[in-house]
Amino acid sequence: MKAAAAAQRGLLDLQAIDTVIAQLEHRRRSLPEHAQILEGHKLRASLGESLVAARTLVSDLEAEMDKAESDLVPVKERRARDQRRLDGGTVTDPKQLSALIEEIDHLKRRISDLEDIQLEVMERLETASGMRDSVQEERTEVEHSLRALIASRDALVSQIDDQLAEQRARQEAAAAALPAELVALYRRIAARSGGLGAAPLNGRRCGGCQLEATATALAEYAAAAEDEVVRCEECERILVRGGGA
């Protein structure tokens, strides 16, 4: 392939722009905020599950507390009635009186047992409520942190996108100023060579693979016409003569 020496040197300008674009795209993909946001979403989801479990436990314990209280009410009322009967002196039969006293004692023990149950449920409910509130607070903090991270990420992405738009406009202009066939060759090589399709010949060294040319290859490069497009014998990139130090 032949192309004017100036056009070949123009490939280095296009390559420089392409390299900047590749760096910007890599930076956009590699922003630490991406990983931090992903971890934040995972943590928020995990805390959400924990919060549901904590709220369910609190709800169950509240129901258990209501039951303990409802179980206690009729026993206390019955004991109060029996105590009034005993204090009122309306029961005079010794057997009935003995049975009444025995029932009051039984009810006292039952009340004590139920109050112990109520206290135990109350303590569990207090602990569960504290855990629920703690998880809720942590989840809220994570959400605030996530919102800040997302805002920071979006601002950085916007800045990079602005830079990319500027560089792509330069890329389009630079490519348009070069022969289409030369640009097509450059693009094909770049696609299979890590984005680097053209490199300067710096003395004996290829600016792409950084290997020194053999004496035979160097002689061929020197002998080639100025408008001949030469390729590195090692990496096959376009070698731009007179394009580097």
Crossing angle, helix 5-29 and helix 180-192, to 10 degrees?
A: 40
- Which residues are bridge partners to 202 per DSSP? 205
Structural contact between residues 196 and 238, judged by C-beta atoms closer than 8 angstroms: no
Structural contact between residues 230 and 238, judged by C-beta atoms closer than 8 angstroms: yes
HSE at residue 201, side-chain half, CA atoms within 13 A, is 24
What confidence category does residue 100 fall into, taking pLDDT thresholds of 50, 70 and 90? confident
| pTM across the whole model | 0.75
CA 141 → CA 43, 58, 154, distances in Å?
11, 22, 20
In this predicted structure, the answer to whether residue 191 has a pLDDT above a threshold of 60 is: yes
Residue for token pair 């023990």: 109
Closest CA to 144 of 30, 29, 43, 50: 43
pLDDT by residue (tens digit) across 62-91? 999 999 999 999 999 999 998 988 888 887
Structural contact between residues 54 and 131, judged by C-beta atoms closer than 8 angstroms: yes
Q: 31-166 has which fold?
A: Helix Hairpins (1.10.287)
The lowest-confidence range among 22-26, 53-57, 81-85, 157-161 is 81-85
- Cα(229)–Cα(240) distance, integer angstroms: 8
Amino acid at 150: I
Q: Where are the alpha helices (DSSP H) in the chain?
A: 5-29, 32-88, 94-176, 180-192, 215-223
In this predicted structure, the answer to whether residue 243 has a pLDDT above a threshold of 80 is: no
Which residues lie closer than 8 Å to 38 by C-beta, 6 or more apart?
none
Structural contact between residues 241 and 229, judged by C-beta atoms closer than 8 angstroms: no
Give the domain ranges of the chain.
5-25+179-240, 31-166
Average pLDDT of every residue of the chain:
94
Crossing angle, helix 94-176 and helix 5-29, to 10 degrees?
A: 170
Predicted local confidence at residue 90, as pLDDT: 83
For residue 172, the tally of other CB atoms under 10 A from its CB is 11
Closest CA to 57 of 156, 159, 146, 127: 127
HSE at residue 129, side-chain half, CA atoms within 13 A, is 9
